[in-house]
Amino acid sequence: MSLSAARPLNPWRWLALPALICIGVTMLFAAPFRVFGLQLPEPVFAMVPTFAWAVIRPSVLAPFGVLLLGLFLDSFWGGPMGLWGLSLLAAYATVLFMRNMMSGQSRSMMWAWFAGSTGIAMLAGFLFTMLDSLAIPSLVGVLWQFLATVLLFSFADYLVDQFEDADVRFR
């Protein structure tokens, strides 16, 4: 992509809009709707911007957006405050630390990185829940939530493709 074709990195477009979409889709999937007696899956939609924001560029605003998305999930699902905020921040920090190794990787390798960061968030959430409730959460439930979240990689890839070349300072 040439320098003249680079789009400006507007915080509304790469931070606020994906966060609002994640909030809306989370509320949509929480609807008590059943298909063939099965409830809709509950993926962690906030993993999409968490991964993409760390890959796109380092920013001061992105960790606050990740924390706000996590606190929304905690209040929406009625969990302990800070559970998803800390879990998502752990995944964000890991991706941010490893982002130099991710640059130039193939789509399948980026999917593996997304799965790894999702696994870190799920493991952190599992451990924080275990510490809070003094009981072991359902491993099957965590596995299904992990699988449903990993299937969201194409949305994270789209977000990265949209804004990866927008800031010429990080080329």
Distance CA 139, CA 146 (A): 10
The token pair at 93 is 């920090």
Kindly give, in sequence order, each residue whose CB lies less than 8 Å from that of residue 132, ignoring residues fewer than 6 positions away: 80, 83
Q: Which of residues 58 and 78 earns the better pLDDT score?
A: 78
pLDDT given for residue 40 in this prediction: 67
Mean pLDDT taken over the chain: 85
Domain annotation for the chain: domains and CATH numbers? 6-170 (1.10.1760)
Say if residue 35's pLDDT is above 90.
no
Higher-pLDDT residue of 76 and 38 is: 76
pLDDT of residue 93: 95
Predicted confidence (pLDDT) at residue 7 exceeds the cutoff of 60: no
Instruction: Please state, in angstroms and rounded to a whole number, the distance separating the CA atoms of residues 135 and 127.
Output: 10
Nearest Cα to 51, choosing from 97, 103, 98, 117? Answer: 117
Q: Is pLDDT of 6 > 60? A: no
Percentage of the chain lying above the pLDDT 90 cut? 47
Which residues, in sequence order, are bridge partners of residue 4? none
Alpha-carbon distance 165 to 162, whole Å?
Answer: 8
59 neighbors 75 (Cβ within 8 angstroms) = no
Reading the block at residue 145, the tokens are 């939530």
Q: Nearest to residue 3, comparing CAs of 162, 165, 170, 160?
A: 165
- Name the token pair of 94: 């890991």
Question: Smallest Cα–Cα separation from 156: which of 117, 98, 104, 100?
Answer: 117
- For the cut 50, the answer to whether the pLDDT of residue 169 exceeds it is no
Q: For 78-134, what is each residue's pLDDT tens digit?
A: 888 999 999 999 999 999 999 888 888 889 999 999 999 999 999 999 999 999 888
